[in-house]
Amino acid sequence: MDNVAKKKESPLKKLKTRKEFLIIGGLLLVIIAVYLIGSLYFNQKFLKNTYINGVDVGGLTVEEANDELAKLVNGYTLELQFNDGNSESISGNECGVTYNKDNNVQDILKKQSSFSWINAFFGKSENSVNNLAKVDETVLRQQIASLSHLQADAQVAPVDARVEYTNNQFAIVDEVYGSTIDQDKLVSEIMLAFSEGKNKLNLDEKSCYVQPGVKATDASIQQLYEAATNYASASITYNTRSGDVVLDGSTLITWLSIDENGNYYRDDAVFKEKATDFVSDLAKKINSVGGTRTFVGANNRTITVSGGNYGLRLQNSKEVTGLLEDIYANKVTTRTPVTTGGDAGGENGGLGNTFVEIDLTGQHMWYHKNGTIILESDIVSGTYNNPERRTPAGTYYLYNKERNRTLRGTKKPDGTYEYETPVSYWMPFNKGIGLHDSSSWRSRWGGDIYMNNGSHGCINLPTSVAGQLYENIEINCPVVCYY
């Protein structure tokens, strides 16, 4: 009986199994059909959760997606963020922005696989198209030119890093970035932002500012600093009649040379050439021979006179040699220049307070010693109406003192002299012209004697006066003559 029952249940069981297979098969067919229908559906549409430039275009055709993206571009406003923390906004309409239908939106659709439409429901696909907008560059440039941050008074130029000489030492001064905007770069970044649908543009992050050409971390600055410290740290000061002249690192650093590898070094030939030029300019401030002098003379009169041989003259070649030695030793010093001649300095026109004053028009002499007139006298100078014998004006210095000298004129062909005059006190200051006694042939001095009966150019004095002057005057004393 049990076997018969089992045989009777078997066909029913088989039928049930067959139904189950049919149901499962039907479900599979439905699923496959749905999947294929979905794949077909998304063949011409973007998959779900597809975003282009932040806009959800899932389930849209290319044309429909362009319509949505056009809304973004047409109502577009871009916030420009500047490095001072402030912002300014520009609109797409004001900048001549229009939607570019000839864009790459279609390419995103082509790259997607419609067979993955189910997976798209469980993830977000972010995409970027950078040619959604067309920008009229001319209109854009006009618009950004009106921004407050683009005005001339708002533009602070960048400053390169540099090596600076301060307080007798070198230091590297960092670069300054400033706020000058690279307008070409800014236009490029704005056009890109419009095309990508961005609503903010940070100019600093996008390098829209003009950058310093040299930065403190550059190898060239570091190497210049080392070379300057080694070769250009001297500070040489000269005291001149027109003020101090200083040669220090701020100038010496410019004397350094640079090789093909960008390394700075000292070229001695260049340093000598630069030092020679410097000394030539220095000479103009030191040389005083023959220059114009203004001084206060007797009776507090202010006199101006030029010419003569009194003063200093810089010995250029010797000074260049000494100066280079100080530079190479990196000395910080006040240097006494190598000169010839003498000059009392800036006081009283370079005459100081001890000098001989000779008024050739007034035919009078004063000897100032330490600020006090200790001797004065009438004189007779060179014959004025004979230009060859006229005493020249100018500032000179006493270069000798001699007792009992015979003064001689021009030697004649027969061996005799134009004149031979013995004097007791001889004090020359201008070649053959000097101060001397003349009592042995004159009894009067002063007045207009000099006009037609003057000397051969010398300053004639009474013997007693000449003696006193001889005893008190020193060699190198200034002698100033004026009309």
Q: What is the pLDDT of residues 230-259, one digit of tens each?
A: 999 999 999 988 899 999 999 999 999 999
Could you tell me the CA-to-CA distances from 342 to 200, 335, 358 in Å, in that order? 76, 17, 19
Residue-level pLDDT at 296: 97
Residue-level pLDDT at 318: 97
Mind listing the pLDDT tens digit for each residue in 286-306? Answer: 998 988 999 999 999 999 999
Mind listing the pLDDT tens digit for each residue in 367-392? Answer: 999 999 999 999 999 999 999 999 99
Q: In CATH, which of 2.40.440.10, 3.20.20.70, 2.40.50.1020, 1.20.140.10 is domain 353-482?
A: 2.40.440.10
Residue 11 to residue 5: CA distance in whole angstroms: 11
Residue 400 to residue 16: CA distance in whole angstroms: 151
CATH topology of domain 50-202: Ubiquitin-like (UB roll) (3.10.20)
Q: Which of 272, 222, 232 is nearest to 253 (CA)?
A: 232
Query: In which band, very low, low, confident or very high, does the pLDDT at 167 lie, cut at 50, 70 and 90?
Result: confident
Query: Does domain 219-292+304-342 sit in CATH 3.30.2420.10?
Result: no
Q: Computed over its alpha carbons, how large is the radius of gyration of the chain?
A: 51
Query: Does the pLDDT at position 26 exceed 90?
Result: no
Mind listing the pLDDT tens digit for each residue in 168-198? Answer: 899 999 999 999 999 999 999 998 888 787 8
Q: Which of 102, 252, 85 is nearest to 168 (CA)?
A: 252
Query: In which band, very low, low, confident or very high, does the pLDDT at 97 lie, cut at 50, 70 and 90?
Result: confident
Q: Please state the rounded mean pLDDT for residues 43-48.
A: 93
Say if residues 81 and 200 touch (Cβ distance below 8 Å).
yes
Sorted by where each begins, the domain ranges of the chain are 1-32, 50-202, 219-292+304-342, 353-482
pTM, two decimals, is 0.60
Residue 40 to residue 47: CA distance in whole angstroms: 11
Residue-level pLDDT at 475: 94
Residue-level pLDDT at 12: 64
Q: What angle do CA 270, 274, 275 make, to 5 degrees?
A: 115
Active site residue 458: yes
Of the listed 208, 458, 477, 481, which one is catalytic?
458
Mind listing the pLDDT tens digit for each residue in 412-421? Answer: 999 899 899 9
Cβ-Cβ contacts under 8 Å for 318 (sequence gap 6 or more): 338
Counting every residue, how long is the chain?
483
Active site residue 436: yes
Q: How many C-alpha atoms does 139 have within 13 Å on its Cβ side? A: 13
Cβ-Cβ contacts under 8 Å for 304 (sequence gap 6 or more): 292, 293, 294
Residue 248 to residue 269: CA distance in whole angstroms: 19
Helix, coil or strand: residue 116: helix
Residue-level pLDDT at 67: 92
Computed from CA positions of residues 373, 374, 376, 381, in that sequence, does the dihedral angle turn out positive or negative? negative
Residue 131 to residue 69: CA distance in whole angstroms: 11
First to last CA, the chain: 170
Residue-level pLDDT at 73: 77
Query: In which band, very low, low, confident or very high, does the pLDDT at 1 lie, cut at 50, 70 and 90?
Result: very low
Query: In which band, very low, low, confident or very high, does the pLDDT at 111 lie, cut at 50, 70 and 90?
Result: very high
Cβ-Cβ contacts under 8 Å for 406 (sequence gap 6 or more): 420, 421, 422, 423
Q: Please state the rounded mean pLDDT for residues 108-136.
A: 90
Structure-token pair, residue 165? 């000489």
Q: Please state the rounded mean pLDDT for residues 13-20.
A: 71
Phi, psi angles (nearest 5°) of residue 303: -120, 140
DSSP H helices, 42-176, are 62-74, 105-111, 137-145
94-131 exposure pattern, b = at least 16 Cβ within 10 A, e = fewer: ebbbebbeebebeebbeebebeebeebeeeebebebee
Same fold, 50-202 and 219-292+304-342: yes
Residue-level pLDDT at 31: 81
Of the listed 95, 149, 368, 436, which one is catalytic?
436
Q: Exposed, middle or buried by CB within 10 Å (0-12, 13-18, 19+), for 393?
A: middle
Residue-level pLDDT at 5: 46
